[in-house]
Amino acid sequence: MKKRMISLALTLAMLLSAMPISGVLAMEDGATTESILIGETFNDVVTGGLPDDVFAVKRAGSGDMSVMAVPDARNKSLYMTTQTDGTTYIEKEIVNPENAPLTLGFKMMPGNLGSFSLVNIVDDAGNVTPVFEVTDGKIMKDGEELFAFETNRWYYMEVAFNITDKAFTLAVDNQKLIKKTGIKYNNFAALRFQLSATTQELYLDDITMYRADLLTGERKYFEGSRLFL
């Protein structure tokens, strides 16, 4: 009986040690340290705190954010909320002098179905360019509904950026939705997740950004993704 208990304890310790609970995402197969520009899970941030060790953060007016124990204390996420008079964002400088292709992945859970532009490109002059827009909880293109979100449900979002051509491809839950060219921005100096001048709340988690050209083998896409660069 004693030997069995020791064996069970060792097995449990091995399982726990293999779980990715740190604040930095485990590298994908084929990824190198140089290829990873962002890898944040918010798990190392104190509950109720701000992720200001990794991102520049701003809260103005009714805009607010804090790291919450959602879905649980071992797997935290960033809660962001604002009303029409507020702004809240996190921003990360992107160092990519070669204008290499980039792939962004993150999880999002909307708390209500408002209108917002969450993912934004910031140039070196501080100009902000939305990558895609959500209107009343829907992703639209030329008047056509491409995707409708539901509240209190996690979605995996992925954006593949072609920096040279100023183009991107957007996928939600591995469903390719938009391929857009001719985005009007001067340069890709920073990535910003922002809620501004809208009544909206959402949770954000597992933010990753890779330089696709530095991945090896066939790992030029995220785990489970069908969105090849």
User: pLDDT tens digit string along 83-132?
Assistant: 999 999 999 999 999 899 999 999 999 999 999 999 999 999 999 999 99
Which pLDDT score is estimated for 34?
A: 66
Could you give the CA distance from residue 86 to residue 14 in angstroms, rounded to a whole number? 46
Q: Which long-range contacts (CB under 8 A, 24 or more apart) does 218-224 make?
A: 218/30, 219/28, 219/29, 219/30, 219/31, 220/30, 220/103, 221/103, 222/28, 222/103, 222/105, 222/158, 223/28, 224/174
Does pLDDT of 13 surpass 90? no
Which pLDDT score is estimated for 33?
A: 60
User: In three state form, how does the secondary structure of 30-68 look?
Assistant: CCCHHHEEEEECCCCCCCCCCCCCCCEEEEECCCEEEEE
Which pLDDT score is estimated for 143?
A: 83
| pLDDT tens digits along 14-68 | 333 333 444 544 445 445 566 889 999 999 999 999 999 999 999 999 999 999 9
| pLDDT tens digits along 158-178 | 999 998 888 999 999 989 999
- Identify the bridge partners of residue 102 per DSSP, sorted by sequence position: 161, 211
Which pLDDT score is estimated for 39?
A: 94
Q: Taking the complete model, does pTM exceed 0.95, yes or no?
A: no
> Residue 9, SS3?
helix
Which pLDDT score is estimated for 117?
A: 94
Contact 170, 130 (CB under 8 A): no
Which pLDDT score is estimated for 135?
A: 94
Confidence of residue 136 (pLDDT cuts 50, 70, 90): very high
What lies within 8 Å, CB to CB, of 171 at 6+ separation is 157, 158, 159, 177, 225, 226, 227
Does pLDDT of 183 surpass 60? yes
Which pLDDT score is estimated for 229?
A: 31
